[in-house]
Amino acid sequence: MATRKLIVLDRDGVINEDSDAFIKTLDEWIPLPGSIEAIARLSRTGWQVCIATNQSGLARGLFDAATLDSMHARLRELVAGQGGRIELILYCPHGPNDGCECRKPKPGMFRQIADHYGYSDLAGVPAVGDSLRDLQAGAALGATPYLVRTGKGTVTLERPLPPGTLVFADLSSVARHLLNE
């Protein structure tokens, strides 16, 4: 169980539907069933909810920062409508070959989150993702990897996972587990 009431979520495939063709427009950004409510429930019970998401569609020219901002504004609005709050949304705008430190599986965004809260690491913090790189990035700073079977999660489950990975059906199941429901 987490020692800090901080949780880091991936976006595509965890909160909203994913697509191999990328989520390029606000109309394509479709929340997964129960995900908004799960975020709001965690937030209402004192959890600090952060999002760390690779968004290489920016580097590929598939959408612009204003479009991405509109998706994140919609996400924040939906969560607020359920009485919750997202504390921080970080994204990596780089492509896979750009050599940055923020693109998962590198832990740059997780380091930024730790720094934001004044933590030296993220020990015990749930890092929820649907891909191996999500889990690896969080685990690099001591976060507990939580794999959801939504998005690419079922395929990811077929690969070797970081030690201590917990597996759940979806974000709602993660929230129920963390809230002892």
Extract the annotated binding site. 10, 12, 92, 94, 100, 102, 130
Tell me if 170 sits within 8 A of 32, measured CB to CB. Answer: yes
- Establish whether 10 is a catalytic residue: yes
Tell me if 103 sits within 8 A of 94, measured CB to CB. Answer: yes
CB atoms within 10 A of CB 173: 18
Q: Work out the burial of residue 90: count CB atoms within 10 Å of its CB; fewer than 13 is exposed, 13-18 middle, 19 or more buried.
A: middle
- Establish whether 12 is a catalytic residue: yes
Residues 6 or more apart whose CB falls under 8 angstroms from that of 30 comprise 16, 17
Binding-site sequence positions for Zn(2+): 92, 94, 100, 102
For residue 141, give the 3-state DSSP assignment: coil
Backbone phi, psi, residue 124, to 5°: 80, -5
Binding-site sequence positions for Mg(2+): 10, 12, 130
Catalytic residue among 10, 18, 134, 170: 10
User: What is the set of active-site residues?
Assistant: 10, 12
